[in-house]
């Protein structure tokens, strides 16, 4: 039901506002409870309730064997987690930021991603590597990189990148239940953001299927494709452009690998224009992959203009706020790209 016009509309029955942080916490709680093979390990995840409070209350509820504080040794605890997964447990390995997963990339790629294939399917590695990815605010180059393209490059991994609270909860539950290694790229700046969540999304059975994009807004003039925080920027840009008579279709990728290119193709066949948006660097990026797939596939014949990429600047992230703002795609950059591709 809507409001009377003087106040904001009431949320639909059963819908409530849930932050991304609480959605992730709910998912971990429900999966720890559902399957005793699931455990969480990482820096400060136990007594401290997690560096970002994602694991708040879980150590008190499940104890030392299920929620494990580790030393600052990514290669060590990621290796322990991978070994535990090979032996039949289902670890959730938290990196304080994915920049620090570089310390453990040998474990993620050479040990986790390749083992099922190299053992002809006889050794599974059901593990989730999760934590904040991409730029936060004022943390400079060594804490601001997006690794979607890096991990999306590697066969053997599944890579998910949530935007909303529903994405975060549903994808984390799907990742924990998956029998393959899954890299879950969250965004620190989204943790405190509330999103509407339906009653269904808050149930213990709710999962978001890995490999399926979601159309966040229907449109007819241009397709905007993004993942993680830039999805919100695309929704904002679409609202501004709608006032000028331009209707954008906004696609939330949700999964980087396997990529749901069919949803993008269907949209491009309808709108005839494509703009990709990401926080990562341009070269060999997620947008580059989408553009290549569209060019190689049936949707290419529907394009009325070249596809346009909106990306982070091709530099290590500066510390100064004004420079940082100029390195990260903003709503105005998306609007500019849409007008460029539509030639208006």
pLDDT in tens, the chain (344 residues): 333 444 444 556 678 999 999 999 999 999 999 999 999 999 999 999 999 999 999 999 999 999 999 999 999 999 999 999 999 999 999 999 999 999 999 999 999 999 999 999 999 999 999 999 999 999 999 999 999 999 999 999 999 999 999 999 999 999 999 999 999 999 999 999 999 999 999 999 999 999 999 999 999 999 999 999 999 999 999 999 999 999 999 999 999 999 999 999 999 999 999 999 999 999 999 999 999 999 999 999 999 999 999 999 999 999 999 999 999 999 999 999 999 999 99
pTM: predicted TM-score of the whole model, two decimal places: 0.94
265 among known catalytic residues: no
Q: Are residues 71 and 192 in the same domain?
A: yes
Q: Which of 179, 202, 225 is the last residue of a domain?
A: 202
**Is 143 an active-site residue?**
yes
The residues, ordered by sequence, that sit 6+ positions from 63 with a Cβ below 8 Å of its Cβ are none
**What pLDDT does residue 332 have?**
97
Supply the pLDDT for residue 7: 42
User: Could you tell me if 277 and 334 are in contact, meaning their C-beta atoms sit under 8 angstroms apart?
Assistant: yes
Distance of CA 83 to the CA centre of its chain: 25
Q: What is the pLDDT of residue 13?
A: 65
Q: What is the pLDDT of residues 221-270, one digit of tens each?
A: 999 999 999 999 999 999 999 999 999 999 999 999 999 999 999 999 99
SS3 sequence, the chain?
CCCCCCCCCCCCCCCEEEEHHHHHHHHHHHHHHHCCCEEEEECCCCCCCCCCCCCCCHHHHHCCCCEEECCCCHHHHHHHHHHHHHCCCEEEEECCCHHHHHHHHHHHHHHHHHHHHHCCCCCCCCCEEEEECCCCCCCCHHHCCCCHHHHHCCCCCEEECCCCHHHHHHHHHHHHHCCCCEEEEECHHHCCCEEEECCCCCCCCCCCCCCCCEEEECCCCEEEEECCCHHHHHHHHHHHHHCCCCCEEEEECCEEECCCHHHHHHHHHHHCCEEEECCCCCCCCHHHHHHHHHHHCHHHHHCCCCCEEECCCCCCCCCCHHHHHHHCCCHHHHHHHHHHHHCC
Q: What is the pLDDT of residues 71-105, one digit of tens each?
A: 999 999 999 999 999 999 999 999 999 999 999 99
Q: What is the pLDDT of residue 12?
A: 64
* Single residue among 202, 234, 256 that ends a domain in this structure: 202
Among 170, 202, 234, the domain-final residue is: 202
Catalytic residue, from 143, 221, 227, 233: name it.
Answer: 143
List Cβ neighbours of 198 (8 Å cut-off, separation of 6 or more). 12, 14, 15, 166
CATH code where residue 286 lies: 3.40.50.920
The answer to whether position 37 is within a domain reads yes
**Is the same domain home to 198 and 218?**
no
Q: Are residues 43 and 181 in the same domain?
A: yes
- CATH number of 98's domain: 3.40.50.970
* The one catalytic residue among 31, 74, 188, 324: 74
Tell me how far CA of residue 239 lies from CA of 81, 333, 344, in angstroms: 44, 14, 17
pLDDT at 14: 77
Range of the domain at 160: 17-202
């Amino acid at each position: 039901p809507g409001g009377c016009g003087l106040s904001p509309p009431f949320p639909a029955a059963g819908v409530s506002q849930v932050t991304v942080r609480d959605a992730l916490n709910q998912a971990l709680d429900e999966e720890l409870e559902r399957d005793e093979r699931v455990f969480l390990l990482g820096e400060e995840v136990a007594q401290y309730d997690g560096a970002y409070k994602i694991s708040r209350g879980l150590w008190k509820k499940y104890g030392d064997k299920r929620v494990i504080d580790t030393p600052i040794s990514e290669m060590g605890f990621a290796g322990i987690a991978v070994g535990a997964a090979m032996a039949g447990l289902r670890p959730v390995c938290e990196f304080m930021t994915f920049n620090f997963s570089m310390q453990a990339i040998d474990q993620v790629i050479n040990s986790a991603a390749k083992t099922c294939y190299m053992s002809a399917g006889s050794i599974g590695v059901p593990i989730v590597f999760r934590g904040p990815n991409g730029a936060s605010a004022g943390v400079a180059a060594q804490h601001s990189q997006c690794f979607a393209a890096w991990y999306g490059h590697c066969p053997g991994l599944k890579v998910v990148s949530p935007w909303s609270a529903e994405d975060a909860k549903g994808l984390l539950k799907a990742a924990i239940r998956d029998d393959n290694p899954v890299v879950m790229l969250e965004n620190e700046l989204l943790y405190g953001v509330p999103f509407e969540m339906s009653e269904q999304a808050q149930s213990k059975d709710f999962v978001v299927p890995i490999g399926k994009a979601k159309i966040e807004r229907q449109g007819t003039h241009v397709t905007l494709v993004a993942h993680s925080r830039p999805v919100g920027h695309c929704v904002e840009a679409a609202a501004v452009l709608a006032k000028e008579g331009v209707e954008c279709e906004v696609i939330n990728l949700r999964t980087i690998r396997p990529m749901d290119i069919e949803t993008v193709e269907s949209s491009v066949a309808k709108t005839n224009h494509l703009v990709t948006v990401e926080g990562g660097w341009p070269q060999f990026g997620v947008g580059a992959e989408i553009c290549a797939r569209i060019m190689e596939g049936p949707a290419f014949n529907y394009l009325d203009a070249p596809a346009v990429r909106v990306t982070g600047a091709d530099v290590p992230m500066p510390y100064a706020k004004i420079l940082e703002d100029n390195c990260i795609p903003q709503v105005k950059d998306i609007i500019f790209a849409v007008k460029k591709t539509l030639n208006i």
